[in-house]
């Protein structure tokens, strides 16, 4: 791509970014040519044409409809782990659900209701605080709830769909509905139903447990992880395991 073509493309996305800013709330963030190296755990990658942080579900709906109307490709960004961005960057809009609206976590009986932007570690810690067992394995996964749902993330022999009850998600036209675990039909490290939808929140089912025992398991999982993985910036365990042997081996 020539310098002139790059300038023309950038100008076009500055125009689109300006259009988005006009229809979103005052607290929403729209950035043009955002370096993705700042947003991934590998600390590499080129720029995204647009980086959008909606401040509400209404903002998110407006973003998705705007992208659909202007034929702008979009991708939802979690915490940037298990993500390798090419040096040429992303031609379209990166959507980040990092605002507090999408990061809330609360307990309802033996359920944890978590926003898609919440950290998996925060979910595990809240469950422990309320003596709820079953999500200890989430403690060391460096991602968000939404990202975990998209790839059916797991560790220590468990995966998020093992404890999932339902997901609230928005489609590309901005419509919202609830999906049961069975409807989403997740597989190993994948949930294709969320490829063109945005997870907003998830209900996770837990069981009552002894807080000391929950803490013991979380500590055990953490120690096992730190002994087997480097502490330097990385994408963690980003490869799918074949059936016969772990990918690392």
Q: Do 103-228 and 9-100 fall under one CATH topology?
A: no
Tens digits of residue pLDDT in 42-90 = 899 999 999 999 999 999 999 999 999 999 999 999 999 888 999 999 9
Dihedral, CA of residue 30, residue 200, residue 241 and residue 244, to nearest 10 = -170
Domain ranges of the chain: 9-100, 103-228
pLDDT tens, position by position, 1-21 = 443 334 445 566 788 888 899
Average pLDDT score over residue span 128-152: 95
- Count of H-run helices and E-run strands, the chain: 7, 13
Q: Which residue has tokens 């998600």?
A: 169
Looking at 3.40.309.10, 3.30.9.10, 3.30.465.10, 3.30.43.10, the CATH number of the domain 103-228 comes to 3.30.465.10
Structure tokens at 154: 């797991």
Fold designation for 9-100 = 3.30.43
**CA nearest 151: which of 103, 187, 197, 114?**
187
For 193-219, how does the pLDDT look when each residue is reduced to its tens digit (9 = 90+)? 999 999 999 999 999 999 999 999 999
Sign of the CA dihedral with 114 first, then 119, 124, and 128 last: negative
Q: How far apart are the first and last CA of the chain?
A: 40
Single pTM value for the model: 0.86
């Amino acid at each position: 791509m020539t310098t002139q073509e790059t300038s023309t493309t950038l100008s076009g996305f500055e125009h689109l970014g300006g259009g988005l800013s006009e229809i979103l709330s005052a607290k929403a963030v729209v950035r043009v040519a955002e370096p993705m190296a700042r947003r991934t755990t590998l600390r590499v990658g080129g720029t995204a044409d647009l980086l959008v942080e909606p401040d509400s579900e209404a903002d998110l709906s407006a973003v998705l409809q705007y992208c659909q109307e202007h034929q702008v490709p979009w991708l939802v960004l979690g915490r940037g782990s298990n993500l390798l961005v090419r040096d040429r960057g992303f031609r379209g809009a990166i959507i980040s659900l990092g605002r507090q609206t999408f990061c809330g976590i609360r307990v309802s009986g033996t359920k944890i209701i978590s926003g898609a932007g919440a950290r998996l570690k925060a979910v595990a810690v809240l469950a422990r605080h309320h003596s709820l067992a079953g999500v200890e394995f989430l403690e060391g996964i460096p991602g968000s709830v939404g990202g975990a749902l998209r790839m059916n993330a797991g560790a220590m022999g468990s995966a998020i769909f093992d404890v999932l009850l339902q997901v609230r998600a928005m489609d590309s036209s901005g419509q919202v509905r609830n999906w049961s675990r069975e409807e989403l039909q997740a597989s190993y490290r994948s949930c294709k139903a969320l490829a063109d939808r945005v997870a907003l929140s998830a209900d996770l089912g837990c069981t009552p447990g002894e807080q000391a025992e929950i803490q013991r398991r979380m500590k055990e999982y953490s120690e096992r992880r730190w002994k087997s993985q480097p502490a330097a910036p990385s994408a963690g365990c980003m490869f799918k395991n074949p059936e016969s042997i772990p990918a690392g081996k």
